[in-house]
Amino acid sequence: MTDTPHLLGSARTLWELADRRAALTPSRPVLLQGDRVLTFGELRARAERVAAGLYGMGVRPGTVVAWQLPTRVETVLLSFALARLGAVQSPLIPYYRDREVAFALRGSKAEFFAVPGVWRGHDHTAMAHRLGARGVFEAYATLPDGDPAVLPPPPAEGTAVRWIYWTSGTTSDPKGVLHTDRSLIAGGSCLAHALRLSAADVGSMAFPYAHIAGPDYTVMLLLYGFPAVLFEHFALPEALAEYRRHGVTVAGGSTAFYSLFLAEQRKRPGEKVIPSLRLLAGGGAPKPPGLYHAVVREMGVQLTHGYGMTEVPMITMGDPGDTPENLAATEGRPPEGMEIRIVDGEVRLRGEAVCRGYLDPAQTAEAFDADGFLRTGDLGRLTPSGHLVLTGRLKDVIIRKGENISAQEIEDLLAAHPAVADAAVVGLPDAERGELVCAVVEQPPGAPVLTLDEVVTYLRAQGLSVHKLPERLEVLPALPRNDTLRKVLKYRLRERFSPPCPGTGQD
């Protein structure tokens, strides 16, 4: 391996990184989607034209532009065009609905909002206008266009806040997480080096590009000069043809993806479901050790799992050359430059990949300790070899398919239902999703017994996003509580309703 990735990784901004890669390998592909191929050179050239079009609309350095777009070539071009201008981007996951979108637009004070129009049955344009969004424009099949001669110089430094990502965290309202170009480059660099990738690899993005993993993964492509296949909507077995067609060598995303690929492999034992695949990698949700062993044994590929969050996109990552024990039972080790401190069992972090804080200064003050370490709310320990083992969470948050879901948000909505006296929402272990959302309700006397379908219909009507809807409902005569403040004892609910612990799956 040459030192090219390290030289590129010294770029101060994402645009500088893209510019350097385009100069180095302009004709190499970077994005593959269906029959479409975009090279590194085309990424730079087309993004500049889009930037000029945005400039003509009034977007300037520092202008806040929110976008809620699916994983498409156009989305990547728009994002890099905004990076070229030095605008502040606020990406929103495409399946967010009125509640989350309204909060994000209000919190970020977005002056423009890019939407896909009608996408997968939902009219994003109508929602944007309904919410009173400013500067609404569609950016699905076509993008703004202009002459790059009108553009100001690109941003020269990467330490200014130019990204606002959104996470539910532990409260019912999302948090606006502040990132810089340098923090995103640091996260992507750590991921690339940990996975030991090369220019010969072919990656894949089956997750929303609006997720913090979007720039994380794209930095990896720019550093090592290899392409990725984009999936606007991921579903198996339909997506397998694209993986095979493009010779994908690295796939994954989270625990849910591992389980889906494994299920497909089990339909054809003895025949590799993706012949070119050598590595599954991801994070964002707990990984049962048995799943690791099953993937390695049945799919004949390596699996490396890591630990990250919206605030810190890459904290630790499994090394493909590590021992099976460490790959199965730990989250890997932190890269150089990431400091991990365990304080009273809580994992705390400091390093360049850590966010600058939150839009709300009070949340920032609460999140960082006196030494500048981010309080993650996760419980864990470090092994003598430096591997991180996560043991639980202080945060009352459910991680379903890599996305954080606030239990309180769902509980607050359920509490307003006339047939609910009290409610508690917990995450239960699930092999496919990492965790599933379970609502446990206590009903008032004489109320008709609720069904899961009724609860889901009610929550949909309240504007709750689809990915937060409960998959399970339990009705109890009374929720378990402590004897002092009558606080609901959620650990008892998890103990009662969690499935029996499976074995490791090893022979």
Please say which residue of 132, 164, 182 terminates a domain: 182
The answer to whether position 312 is within a domain reads no
In the chain, % of residues over pLDDT 90: 79
**Secondary structure (H, E, C), 373-406:** CEEEEEEEEECCCCCEEEEEECCCEEEECCEEEE
Both structure tokens of 2: 């040459």
The answer to whether position 457 is within a domain reads yes
Query: What was the pLDDT predicted at 349?
Result: 98
The answer to whether position 285 is within a domain reads no
| Single-letter amino acid code for the residue at 332 | G
Please say which residue of 145, 163, 182 terminates a domain: 182
Please say which residue of 182, 204, 237 terminates a domain: 182
Check if the beta carbon of residue 57 is closer than 8 Å to that of residue 139: no
Kindly tell me if the per-residue pLDDT of 505 is higher than 50: no
CATH of the domain at 465: 3.30.300.30
Burial of 320 (0-12, 13-18, 19+ CB in 10 A): middle
The answer to whether position 260 is within a domain reads no
Give the model confidence (pLDDT) of 145-198 as tens digits: 999 999 999 999 999 999 999 986 434 578 999 999 999 999 999 888 889 999
The answer to whether position 238 is within a domain reads no
For residue 445, say if its preceding peptide bond is cis, omega within 30 degrees of 0: no
The answer to whether position 305 is within a domain reads no
Instruction: Please state which of the ranges 59-68, 204-213, 287-296, 477-486 shows the lowest mean pLDDT.
Output: 477-486
Number of domains the chain contains: 2
Burial of 151 (0-12, 13-18, 19+ CB in 10 A): middle
Cα–Cα distance for residue pair 293/506, rounded to 1 Å: 6
Kindly tell me if the per-residue pLDDT of 454 is higher than 50: yes
Could you tell me the pTM of the whole model? 0.83
In the chain, % of residues over pLDDT 70: 94
Q: What is the mean pLDDT of residues 370-397?
A: 89
Kindly tell me if the per-residue pLDDT of 322 is higher than 90: yes
Cα–Cα distance for residue pair 231/233, rounded to 1 Å: 5
Query: What was the pLDDT predicted at 489?
Result: 86
Kindly tell me if the per-residue pLDDT of 226 is higher than 90: yes
The answer to whether position 471 is within a domain reads yes
Residue 453: phi and psi, rounded to 5, are: -60, -40
- Tell which phi-psi region holds residue 194, choosing left (phi > 0), alpha (psi between -120 and 50) or beta: alpha
Query: What was the pLDDT predicted at 172?
Result: 55
CATH of the domain at 31: 3.40.50.980
> pLDDT class for 297, splitting at 50, 70, 90?
very high
> pLDDT class for 7, splitting at 50, 70, 90?
low
Check if the beta carbon of residue 309 is closer than 8 Å to that of residue 376: yes
Determine the structural domain holding residue 428 and report its residue range: 398-497
CB atoms near residue 268 (< 10 Å): 9
The answer to whether position 113 is within a domain reads yes
Cα–Cα distance for residue pair 150/170, rounded to 1 Å: 44
DSSP structure string for 349-371: EESTTS--EESSHHHHHHHB-TT
Q: What is the mean pLDDT of residues 49-69?
A: 98
Both structure tokens of 296: 């390695």
> pLDDT class for 231, splitting at 50, 70, 90?
very high
Check if the beta carbon of residue 238 is closer than 8 Å to that of residue 33: no
Sign of CA dihedral 73, 74, 75, 76: positive
Kindly tell me if the per-residue pLDDT of 3 is higher than 70: no
Query: What was the pLDDT predicted at 109?
Result: 98
